[in-house]
Amino acid sequence: MARSAVSVIGAGVAAAVAALVLLPLVAVLWRAGVWPALATGDAQALWFTLWQAAVSAGLSCLLAVPVARALARRQFFGRGALITLMGAPFLLPTIVAVMGLIAVFGRSGWVNQGLAAVGLPTLTVYGAQGVILAHVFLNLPLAVRMILQGWQAIPAERFRLAESLGFAPAQVTRHLERPMLRAVLPGACAVIFVICLTSFAIALTLGGGPGATTVELAIYQAVRFDFNLGRAAMLAGVQFLLCALVATLIWRVVATPGFGAGLGRAPVLRVQGALPLAIDVLAIAAAALFLLGPLCAIALRGAPGLGELPPAVWAAAGRSVAVALISTLLTLVASLALALSVAEAQRGAAVMDGVALLPLATSGLVLGTGLFLLVQPWVLPSRLALGVTVAVNVALSLPFVYRLLLPEARVLRADYGRLSESLHLQGLAWLRLIALPRLARPLGFGAGLAAALSMGDLGVIALFASDQSATLPLVVQGLMASYRLDTAAGAALLLVGISFGLFWAFDFWGRRHAAV
């Protein structure tokens, strides 16, 4: 494709993404006007948002360290499958995770049944402790994968040298593992902190009340129940400033361990002794039980009711699939155009790269609030529910897919750029013969990720939807709220199956059609 054409298309996509993110934010700030001081309830919501995000991120990373260390130094059957599970934390719809946790830790869940059987006090999954438990459940796999990558990045030669020098386990920890953790943990904590900062579905289902209301939940209540758009705009502005600040800090706290280069061999951690083995087995078993238990509970409870789901659930599933497919297509087109443009551009690459990552500084509910303010004077927002949901899904998925494609697009340009120019291969022919076959693998994985994220989204649709435009996650949440838990479990199992099915289908397509 000619460089000028790539630049023009990339610039157009960047302008559209910037408008999609910034116009709602401008609407939010304009509606808020002169911001009043935070009310008592708003200040409490802000404090709880920051507090629960900090505790959730800290616990997730603290618990992930022994699990990642055990996975790094032990080989066993099923290790690859378990690591794969821990590498896909975003594939599980949040509302399904909440249902699984309720089935295990809820009032009549497995844990409380066991506690009651031995005469111990039961637990509650609602309130602050429930929000933190759900965040740890969703983000522990992400923390494990990030820290495990840090362990695997230590050159194998460093461990061989430590072994030849007779280092004790404590000395290996001091000279190799602790420096790696000092470099990796701050970045992992920051990423999980911003994820917990913008969490909505968890606070909606497990939080609530004066002591467990987040800023996102307060925005939803101000729009949906009070119709106080000025207060919603003020809170959305606060939320954006928080996200922008944390997103900026992420780039400053991430460091690279200074171990130097190795020969590319996989590190071999030899740890002898019964006590280290027992600790590693306990860490892996506890993590697997914690992660797989709620999923098994959903499967066991939801499977019998799959054949008796009401028509509203199947209609919502159809709308969710349509939204996910359209969102995925638009996300792929926008991400591919931006990645190729940044790889080709001699000027303006930094600007387009910043625009592609701009959605990370906001959240779906903030964008939804701004779009609600833009359309509300002209048209009934419920009529645009699905279209707005598609737009927000594209904005929120684009940074992840773009970051998957950009390194491969740069390699493509370096390897085939001059050859394509010498053969005058450009336009659609260049895309079909050169670009798409060599980008098929990240395109397939990115498409699966975007489809799964769109299927499980419960954010902006909660602001706009009516009964005729509700998606499957919103229907599941409504069934839970009306205590139709068996039907909700069946609908949740259907949601999980569709989400994982879409991810697998797109990822398989990418691997099947990859040229290399």
* Segment 395-434, tens digit of pLDDT: 888 888 887 787 777 776 766 656 556 666 566 666 666 6
Angle between helices 79-86 and 128-153 (to 10 degrees): 120
Residues contacting residue 66 through CB under 8 Å, at least 6 positions apart? 279, 280, 283
Question: Phi and psi of 185, rounded to 5°?
Answer: -60, -45
Residues contacting residue 186 through CB under 8 Å, at least 6 positions apart? 253, 254, 255
- Of the two residues 270 and 97, the one the predictor is more confident about is 97
Of 211, 201, 215, residue with least CA distance to 481: 201
Please name the residue that has the structure tokens 């008796």. 308
What one-character-per-residue DSSP string does 269-325 give? ----SHHHHHHHHHHHHHHHHHHHHHHHHHHHHHGGGGGG--HHHHHHHHHHHHHHH
What is the per-residue pLDDT for 260? Answer: 45
Answer for the pair 148, 188: CB distance below 8 angstroms, yes or no: no
Residue 209 scores a pLDDT above 70: no
Q: What is the rounded average pLDDT of the residues 484-502?
A: 85
Of 386, 502, 434, 475, residue with least CA distance to 96: 475
pLDDT tens, residue by residue, 341-392: 887 766 667 777 778 777 877 777 778 778 877 877 787 767 777 888 888 8
Residue 373 token pair:
């303010």
The 8-class DSSP code of residue 119 comes to T
- At position 294, the amino acid (one-letter code) is P
* Residue-range domains of the chain with CATH: 1-31+309-516 (1.10.3720.10), 43-256+272-300 (1.10.3720.10)
Name the percent of the chain lying above pLDDT 90: 4
Residue 1 scores a pLDDT above 70: no
Average of per-residue pLDDT values in the chain? 77
Q: What is the rounded average pLDDT of the residues 163-182?
A: 67
- At position 150, the amino acid (one-letter code) is G
Question: ∠144-145-151 over CA atoms, to 5°?
Answer: 90
Say how far apart CA 3 and CA 55 lie, in whole Å: 48
To the nearest 10°, report the CA torsion of 67, 69, 71, 74.
-130
CA distances from residue 441 to 22, 85, 426, 448 in whole angstroms, order as listed: 32, 19, 22, 11
**b/e code 331-351 from CB counts within 10 Å (16+ = b):** bbebbbbbbbbbbbbeeeeee
Global pTM value = 0.76
Say how far apart CA 139 and CA 198 lie, in whole Å: 13
The 8-class DSSP code of residue 106 comes to S
Question: Phi and psi of 399, rounded to 5°?
Answer: -60, -40
- Of the two residues 448 and 464, the one the predictor is more confident about is 448
Cα-to-chain-centroid distance, residue 96: 14
